[in-house]
Amino acid sequence: MCGIWAIFGSEEDLQTHFEKACKISHRGPDSFCMQNINHFTNCLFGFHQLAIMDDALGMQPMRIKEFPHVIMMYNGEIYNYKKLRDHYGFNFTSDCDGEVLIHLYGRGGIDFMAKMLDGVFAFCILDTKTKKVNM
């Protein structure tokens, strides 16, 4: 399982956040990414990847061209992602099951997305257009 970490509104320095994010490094030994979100004060995402599906294009935080205002991190498995992708005709840019979260959210919002999913997972979606965080 991957490690996801996010912080919003903290006044602590970047080094402190980096050290905190590294405390879950055992969750994803294959790669690490820490990303500051532009135009959002003190908003930071950290991701430790355990590469099971699409280690290159499945790196997170994930954004796609179709919904550039949606930033997503998730951990788990979406059992019905292929069925949803095919049913709605989503054009995936990766082979990562979690990408379906962005497409569903972009199509119908958080409630629509949640009703469609079958799996075991945790996620964090930041919508920079509405300035809302969904977990």
Residues catalogued as catalytic? 2
Tokens of 135: 């977990």
Picking from 69, 46, 68, 70, the residue whose alpha carbon sits closest to that of residue 59 is 46
Contacts of 123 (CB under 8 A, 6+ apart): 4, 72, 73, 74, 75, 76, 98, 101, 134, 135
* Residue 45, beta-bridge partner list: 6, 35
How far apart are the C-alpha atoms of 103 and 132, rounded to whole Å? Answer: 17
Contact 29, 1 (CB under 8 A): no
